[in-house]
Amino acid sequence: MERHEALAIVRKQLTEHRYQHTIGVMETAIELAKKYGADVKKAELAAIFHDYAKFRPKEEMKRIIIEQNMPSDLLQYNAELWHAPVGAYLVKTEVGIDDVDILDAIRYHTSGRANMTVLEKVVYLADYIEPGRAFPGVDEVRELAQQNLDLALLKALQNTISFLMKKNEAIYPDTFYTYNDLAKKIKGGELLNDGT
């Protein structure tokens, strides 16, 4: 699928503000994919469709999670998490993209998971650091993303976990698993200097 076609499809699903965010995520994902050796075309498409389900009604998302046997514990956590796995499902069924790499990058762009692929890391980070984002800590993560993909991801996760803890919000287990997986690998020297 070509970029203009993908953007035309996703634009109908998003507000103008969220569409501009999506453009920023796409451009950032392409840059990170080139830098860290992920498939650029897959990064582009995953970034374009990462928020495809963002504005679907919560009841529709809840129904899809139940009907498609997605992890039921999702329903016990903030509904902000739901659009990622539901989006992967809808991108497959409505748009016709069935590439597992692209769908997983969409599926895990909010929660992360242990043993993330480079593509998944690229899309997660691109969503976090795209140029339209402005919040405490984002500039540090942007700088780290130019040096080491995993250190940048670890810092983004630290920021997210800390933010949620300050708000007394429950933290989805996959986010902790992602953090622990990366922290152990970095401490154990398993990751290369370029974060792959």
Instruction: Tell me the three state secondary structure of residue 52.
Output: coil
Q: How far is CA 127 from the centre of its chain?
A: 6
Provide the whole-model pTM.
0.94
- What pLDDT band is residue 9 in, cutting at 50, 70 and 90? very high
Number of domains in the chain: 1
Mean pLDDT of all residues in the chain? Answer: 95
22: containing domain? 3-187
Q: What percent of the chain has pLDDT over 70?
A: 96
- From residue 31, alpha-carbon distances to 40, 98, 165, 195 in Å are 8, 24, 31, 15
Tell me if 68 is assigned to some domain. yes
- Checking if the pLDDT of 195 tops 80, the result is no
pLDDT in tens, 128-146: 999 999 999 999 999 999 9
- Checking if the pLDDT of 192 tops 70, the result is no
Distance of alpha carbon 22 from alpha carbon 5, whole angstroms: 14
Take residue 94 and report the two structure tokens written for it: 């409505």
Tell me if 120 is assigned to some domain. yes
Question: What torsion, rounded to 10 degrees, do the Cα atoms 154, 30, 138, 61 define?
Answer: -80
CATH number for 153: 1.10.3210.10
DSSP secondary structure code for residue 80 in this structure: G
CA-based nearest residue to 113, from 68, 65, 74, 67: 74
Tell me if 124 is assigned to some domain. yes
* pLDDT recorded at residue 191: 63
* pLDDT (mean) for 24-31: 98
Tell me if 73 is assigned to some domain. yes
Distance of alpha carbon 103 from alpha carbon 174, whole angstroms: 17
Report the 10 Å Cβ neighbour count for 189.
7
Tell me if 195 is assigned to some domain. no
pLDDT in tens, 165-174: 999 999 999 9
Tell me if 7 is assigned to some domain. yes
* pLDDT recorded at residue 196: 46
CA-based nearest residue to 81, from 60, 54, 118, 59: 54
Tell me if 192 is assigned to some domain. no
Tell me if 86 is assigned to some domain. yes
Instruction: Tell me the three state secondary structure of residue 172.
Output: coil
